[in-house]
Amino acid sequence: MQTAKAALLVDYNKPMEIREFPLPEKLEPGAMLVRIKLAGVCGTDHHIWKGELYYPGGKRRLPVILGHENVGQIERLGDGVIKDYFGNTLKEGDLLTWHGSSFTICGRCYYCSIGQPTMCVNKRGYSGGFPCDEPPYLLGGYAEYMYLFPKTDVFKLPADMSIESVVAAGCAIPTIIHGVERIGGIRFGESVVVQGSGGVGLFGLAVAKESGASSVTVIGARAERLRLAKEWGADHTIDIMNTTPEERIQKVKELTQGRGADVVIDCTGVPSAFAEGMEMPRNSGRYLIIGQFLDAGPASIRPHIVLAKQLQIHGSSGFLPRHLANGIHLLSSKKEKYPFDKLISHKFPLQKINEAIQATGKWNVIKAGVEP
Ligand SMILES: [Zn+2]
Ligand SMILES: [Zn+2]
């Protein structure tokens, strides 16, 4: 019997364990077995590993295999003609990425019925949503192989596409695209402030630029990241290490004819950034919250500002297959302009998964990838 190694989260905040699982002998019609080429280590993986993110509706059932930003190569296909999201008929050897939960969106619950399928109450995802102690076991990216259920939205990657770019963009780029859609898009000529210079912030910059923003200001830390933001087309950068919140708010005003920005996007995860960010849009401007994924506690805000400025504040999380399709298009069509692949700064073998998770938690890497 053929087996595959996988890294298991058996208990929170404890080293993951490498174990072997049998590969399925027969695939159900429409299912796929893919060999993982590269799996990203996202901040979310680190949070789940630490036990900081619980599954909606209660605690997740362990053990699970994490790793939700994956590129794999089709090893075997179940019966039937299997097509990808774009309509390509798939065959063994094709390179793919996939949406982690769209196949479970029910279409019938309250949120599905009101057109908010990212909030579907029946949604479950690979890489943490399915325990791996029962067949088909291999339901996360930190493994040599992964099983994809029928109806998984998969995306065949162009032959010349860098798998590093897909993994680097990971869940960040479709999340940004979804968020920008929720604020009605960024219109041609608008001024945008991106708070945060991590991966999500850099992709926010790229999406804002490609949407036609006339000026994008990135506020963040670490000189090399702000330099990267400049290389990617940021018109201005503000280093949080040598400025105060008041100075940053003032600087944004100066850069926007005294009005404030049309759009501000929070990509930070730091509660105080929310208090600061809501001072930055112009009257009737839009503020998009994407970074506060984890509950990092309260922020001291002035609610009056929301009324006085008639702010539109939107939160956004998750994404749908169409946002991933848009993201893949951006990655492949603008690879010279935004060398997304360079963001994968470190690669680890599966055996060193714990080092990869630790390095991500300590911000020692721009982004780590696991190469099983
Ligand atoms: Zn639903
Ligand atoms: Zn992620």
Alpha carbon distances (Å) from 351 to 99, 255, 312, 372 = 25, 48, 46, 8
Rounded to the nearest whole angstrom, what is the distance from the C-alpha of residue 169 to the centroid of ligand 2? 9
- The strand pairing partners of 218, in sequence order, are 194, 237
Report which bound ligand comes closest to the CA of 118: 1
pLDDT by residue, tens only, the chain of 372 residues: 799 999 999 999 999 999 999 999 999 999 999 999 999 999 889 999 998 876 655 678 899 999 999 999 999 999 999 999 999 999 999 999 999 999 999 999 999 999 999 999 999 999 999 999 999 999 999 999 999 999 999 999 998 899 999 999 999 999 999 999 999 999 999 999 999 998 889 999 999 999 999 999 999 998 988 999 999 999 999 999 999 999 999 999 999 999 999 999 999 989 999 999 999 999 999 999 999 988 889 999 999 999 999 999 999 999 999 999 999 999 999 999 998 998 899 999 999 999 999 999 887 778 899 999
Rounded to the nearest whole angstrom, what is the distance from the C-alpha of residue 302 to the centroid of ligand 2? 31
Sign of CA dihedral 363, 353, 141, 131: negative
Report which bound ligand comes closest to the CA of 41: 2
Report which bound ligand comes closest to the CA of 70: 2
Taking residue 250's Cβ as centre, other Cβ atoms within 10 Å add up to 13
What pTM does this model have?
0.95
Q: Which residues surround ligand 2, an ion (CB under 5 A)?
A: 42, 44, 171
Report which bound ligand comes closest to the CA of 290: 2
Report which bound ligand comes closest to the CA of 56: 1
Report which bound ligand comes closest to the CA of 172: 2
* 13-18: long-range contacts, CB 8 A cutoff, minimum separation 24: 13/49, 13/50, 13/51, 15/354, 16/49, 16/66, 16/142, 16/353, 16/354, 16/357, 18/350, 18/351, 18/353
Which helix (DSSP H) or strand (DSSP E) does residue 192 occupy? strand 191-195
Rounded to the nearest whole angstrom, what is the distance from the C-alpha of residue 209 to the centroid of ligand 2? 22
Rounded to the nearest whole angstrom, what is the distance from the C-alpha of residue 315 to the centroid of ligand 2? 17
Rounded to the nearest whole angstrom, what is the distance from the C-alpha of residue 316 to the centroid of ligand 1? 17
Using CA atoms, how far apart are residues 300 and 303, in angstroms rounded to an integer? 9
